[in-house]
Structure 1
Amino acid sequence: MATGFVKKDKQRDSWYYEATLGVDENGKRIRKKKRFETKKEAQQALADLLSAANKGDYVEPSLVLYKDYLTDWLNSKKISVRESTWKSYSDWVRLHTIPALGDLEISKITPQRVEKFMLELSRNNYAGSTIQKIYTIIKDSLNKAERWQMVSKNVVDLVDRPKAVKEEMQVWDNEQSLTFLKQAKTDRLYVAFLLALTTGMRQGEILGLRWKDVDLEKGILYVKQTLSHDGQKFSPLPKTAAGRRSITIPSEVIHDLKKHKSMVTDEKRACGQSYTDNNLVVCTTLGTPQSPRNLNRTYQRLLKRVDVPKIRFHDLRHTHATLLLVQGVNPKVVSERLGHATIKITLDTYTHVLPSLQKDVAEEFGKSFFKSTVNE
């Protein structure tokens, strides 16, 4: 049975406890000693320690450095998350978490150190969503450390999750969208921007789209795979995921896709055996995957030539969704086109559109409801 006592150190004007927790595998007694500023703190800490030891819940604090532990944690994550997600985790750990906390022994990480780290990120103007993700990584990693009995408890449970202020979404209206497409019309990558604005597909989905997944007769695109952010790997979308979907396209887009397919066919014929046929809708002149970086570079170049608000490529997807909602399209349909897991995600993302929709609905309802009264 674990035993211990609390005593005052008159020379240091502090209190400490000493505890005997049993014996190790070599028969040597396991003793612990820790100092505190007050008698009450020492008594409480000793009571917690003895209770855990007598229940068999005591965990010897690990001397492993957090940066070494995070390397193992990241390796274990590879089998449970998508490659793009793992890459993001790895970047956040390498660029932020390890520089701030990596040299600490995992058992020496305190709530105060974690909270200070969160505040430093905020002062350096990192987005609230980014800070939340870093917070989640630390919490998840220490949850596993607790399960592995490397620490007695997860100290992040004592740190409030940082709040994220939702940034105002930047989108184009109908006229601005058409103005940009007119400028991009003669560019070889025009069809990528056209698809972004008329289907709401993500960049990786556009760059992963194959001709065999395009039915030009019926006017339907089938989203089945995505290209990684580094442009090196295609990943099939799970059959059960909302992301694997079909999207109908208007006749104008069908017309432009047919012209683009003819151009790609001519390029393939001109290259001969040097052409790598990946059956991609958007690709290089050699048939290889189009680099997301090059696509973004082209997008930025075109933006400079036209008088429209400067928005991100990803905001073309938001523009598509916003235009649909303003036109009165059912949010459920919008959600399905975007590949959202639930309609709630769609409604939460595009709350800026809802007030104007509510006004339009109220006016239309009023006209219909009071029609008979007006005619009397």
Structure 2
Amino acid sequence: MAKKPDGRSSIFLGSDGLWHGWVTMGVKDDGTPDRRHRKGKTETIVTAKVRELEKKRDSGQTTKPGKVPTVREWMRTYLDEIAPMRVSQLTLDSTYRPKAERWIIPRLGAHRLDRLRPEHLDAFYAGLAKEDLAPNTILQVHRILSRALKIAVRRELIGRNVCQMIDAPTGEDAEIEPLLREEAHDILDVVKDRRNGTRWSVALALGLRQSESLGTRWKYVDLDRGAIRVFWQIKRMRYRHGCQDPHACGARLHRYPCPKDCPKARRTSGRRHICLSACRKNCVEHGGACPKFCPPDCTGHAVTCPERTGGWTFTKPKGKGKRTIALPSPLVTLLKLHREAQRAEREAAGEKWQDWDLVWCTPQGGPIDAGDDWDEWKEILALAEVEKDARVHDARHTAATLLLEQGVDIRVIQAVLGHSQLATTKRYTHVTETLAIEAAGRMGRALFDGR
């Protein structure tokens, strides 16, 4: 009586003294009936389990046969096999994997996917908030988990996405503080005679993202027409094994390795040390790793996988991607002078020149590290006596605000900045004091003139 021939559910007392139930959930991939088994000490318990299975079947929430993975198992599968097809490797390494390994897997990893409940998530997010984790970080964690569970539902591993059964954590819009026009003028005065000074003129005038500026190449700059095509950005990707069998390769992938007592080291993911830009910037032979901080018996550089992948890579920009921006005529003149100065540097460097075709580069023509770019920006702010602790990205905010003050339409600003959503552009533009005074004057003239 274990299975009824008509496919209906069956409940019976087995020879082992336990009650057993069988439910037909559908058909397997091979065409055979998908029968699920439940057991318990009493008929009442098994009946409840059978009815729960029938309810899931009738509501279309049937999961695939076999063992349901835990949150830990599924998150690792999602990060290793699924997410790389949907997000960039940089986003995966810098956002998805660290947050999953740091928060999701340790706190929720033991739960089976189909037994993860709303109250588990409520307690999880409440615990993160008690540890003073930033609201935006908690929201990111929620979105990563929700996306992974959404894929699990699509693949019929679970019948529901429990993240959609709770109110998502609330993030916070970071306050944007653009530089004043006078502060922007002071910065331009400081950089006018500085090497790569046009890097900051373009940042304040066009609002390019840092990686877009550092990845700009001359072939995308048309100084005759006065336009720049923002088609690419440059990123430093994490080094990885390029061979099919990393274990057989026997190589270790050292990315700026240094011993634990290195004074220029910081920890990443709690496992290894990585040298900061001040420690590595002068070294070329070891791919950026500073040899003076390496132990005498270090063989990390000699055994690096010969087929490794990573390093400097050109990728598509964020948002709307490719866009063409008109250059202000004074900026065209500055860029022409900058190009001539770079040609002189190229001749002086001779065979040491690295031909990346970059508009802003190192004295040998290579890409500028984002950390070094940040340090230079801070130095410029100090020389310009700007009291605000502005980030590199604040130059982008400043460009958006200055465009607004000039009466440029918000949709034009959206196109210049490369935003895919108009709401994002509105966050970058502020009702400045200048605009507020002008609006008040217009209202006064409209209502009170002649009265």
The Cα of 1:111 is off from its aligned counterpart by 1.8
C-alpha distance in 2, partners of 1:44/1:310? 63
TM-score w.r.t. length of structure 2: 0.69
Q: Is the Cα contact below 8 Å between 1:62 and 1:106 reproduced in 2?
A: no
C-alpha distance in 2, partners of 1:288/1:258? 20
1:190 corresponds, among 182, 197, 200, to: 197
Identity of aligned residues (%): 27
2:380 corresponds, among 297, 302, 314, to: 302
Segment of structure 1 superposing worse, 57-66 or 134-143: 57-66
Partner of 1:51: 55
1:211 and 2:218 equivalent? yes
CA pair 269-150 structure 1, distance change in 2 beyond 3 A: same
C-alpha distance in 2, partners of 1:177/1:153? 52
1:341 corresponds, among 402, 405, 420, to: 420
2:315 corresponds, among 228, 231, 235, to: 235
Gaps of 5+ in 2: 1-7, 13-17, 238-310
Partner of 1:13: none
CA displacement, residues 190-246 of structure 1 (integer Å, 9 cap, x when unaligned): 2222211110011111011111211223321111111125561101459xx733112
1:137 corresponds, among 144, 149, 157, to: 144
Gaps of 5+ in 1: 6-16
C-alpha distance in 2, partners of 1:229/1:181? 28
Segment of structure 1 superposing worse, 165-174 or 77-86: 77-86
Secondary structure of 2:388's counterpart equals coil
1:78 and 2:84 equivalent? yes
C-alpha distance in 2, partners of 1:64/1:105? 6
Partner of 2:160: 153
C-alpha distance in 1, partners of 2:351/2:54? 75
1:199 and 2:206 equivalent? yes
CA displacement, residues 55-76 of structure 1 (integer Å, 9 cap, x when unaligned): 7744368442323322221222
Q: Is the Cα contact below 8 Å between 1:66 and 1:103 reproduced in 2?
A: yes
1:120 and 2:127 equivalent? yes
CA pair 328-97 structure 1, distance change in 2 beyond 3 A: same
The Cα of 1:269 is off from its aligned counterpart by 0.9
Secondary structure of 2:229's counterpart equals strand
Partner of 2:233: 226
Amino acid at match of 2:38: R
The answer to which structure, 1 or 2, has the higher relative contact order (CA under 8 A, 6+ apart) is 2
CA pair 3-52 structure 1, distance change in 2 beyond 3 A: farther
The Cα of 1:158 is off from its aligned counterpart by 1.6
Q: Is the Cα contact below 8 Å between 2:234 and 2:314 reproduced in 1?
A: yes
Secondary structure of 2:85's counterpart equals coil
1:1-376 matched pairs, under 5 angstroms? 1-2=8-9, 20-22=21-23, 30-33=37-40, 47-53=51-57, 57-59=61-63, 62-74=67-79, 75-87=81-93, 88-228=95-235, 230=237, 232-237=312-317, 242-305=320-383, 306-347=385-426, 349-350=427-428, 352-353=430-431, 357=435, 360-361=438-439, 363-364=441-442, 367=445, 369=446, 374=450
Q: Is the Cα contact below 8 Å between 2:9 and 2:22 reproduced in 1?
A: yes
Secondary structure of 2:208's counterpart equals coil
Q: Is the Cα contact below 8 Å between 2:11 and 2:47 reproduced in 1?
A: no
Structure with higher helix content: 1
Amino acid at match of 1:67: R
CA pair 195-22 structure 1, distance change in 2 beyond 3 A: same
The Cα of 1:314 is off from its aligned counterpart by 0.9
The Cα of 1:319 is off from its aligned counterpart by 1.0
CA pair 62-34 structure 1, distance change in 2 beyond 3 A: farther
CA displacement, residues 305-340 of structure 1 (integer Å, 9 cap, x when unaligned): 433301111111011101211232211221111011
C-alpha distance in 2, partners of 1:357/1:338? 21
Q: Is the Cα contact below 8 Å between 1:180 and 1:308 reproduced in 2?
A: no
TM-score w.r.t. length of structure 1: 0.81
Amino acid at match of 1:153: R
CA pair 46-320 structure 1, distance change in 2 beyond 3 A: same
Q: Is the Cα contact below 8 Å between 1:204 and 1:229 reproduced in 2?
A: no
Amino acid at match of 2:157: M
The Cα of 1:252 is off from its aligned counterpart by 2.7
Matched residue count? 355
RMSD across aligned positions (CA): 3.5
The Cα of 1:29 is off from its aligned counterpart by 7.3
C-alpha distance in 2, partners of 1:31/1:326? 69
Segment of structure 1 superposing worse, 102-111 or 219-228: 102-111
Secondary structure of 2:156's counterpart equals coil
